[in-house]
Amino acid sequence: MIKEEIYHNCQEHIQGEHVLCIQDTSEINYTAHRGRFDTSDSDVGPVVNNSNIGFFVHPMLVVDPVSRMPLGYSHVKIWNRRNDKVDKKSRNYPLQPIEEKESFRWIEVTLESLKSLPQGVKQTVIADRESNI
C-alpha cells in the first residue's frame, strides 16, 4: 500500500536521536467539481458547512530538528464525513467517547506515529490548539 511505503521511507531517513512530529488537518474541497461525483461515492462527503463536498487529510510530518529538513510522513489519516451523519446535539456529543469523535484524530495519529518510527528516537509532537482535547 502507498501509505506503508511512505512510512517506511520516513523511517529510513531518520539519522538523529530526535525528531519533530508536526500534525494538522487539511480539507480537500471538491465542491467546484460536484457534478463529477456520484452522490453515492463513499470517498467524499460533507466538509466545512456540510453543504460542500470533499474529504479530510491529517498527516504527521517528521522533521529533523537540526537540519530542519522534512524526513517524511510517519502517519496519514484520511477520512470523510458521511452524508447521513447526525448532528452533534442528536448524538449527545459531550457524552460520546473520544474514539467516536473527529477530534480523536490528534490522538490516533500520534499513537500510530509512535508505532511507525524507530525505537529509541525521541519525538516532540507539535500541533495547533485544536489538539488540546
Rounded to the nearest 5°, which phi and psi values hold at 49?
Answer: -100, 20
Query: For the segment 15-73, what is each residue's pLDDT rounded down to a tens digit?
Result: 999 999 999 999 999 999 988 888 788 889 998 877 899 999 999 999 999 999 999 99
Helix 105-116 / helix 2-13 crossing angle, nearest 10 deg: 60
Domain ranges, ordered by start, for the chain = 2-128
CATH of 2-128, one of 1.25.40.10, 2.30.130.10, 3.90.350.10, 3.40.50.970: 3.90.350.10
79 contacts 56 by C-beta, under 8 angstroms: yes
Contacts of 109 by beta carbon, 8 Å cutoff, 6+ apart: 23, 58, 59, 60, 75, 76, 77
pLDDT tens per residue, range 84-133: 777 777 788 888 899 998 999 999 999 999 999 999 999 999 998 888 87
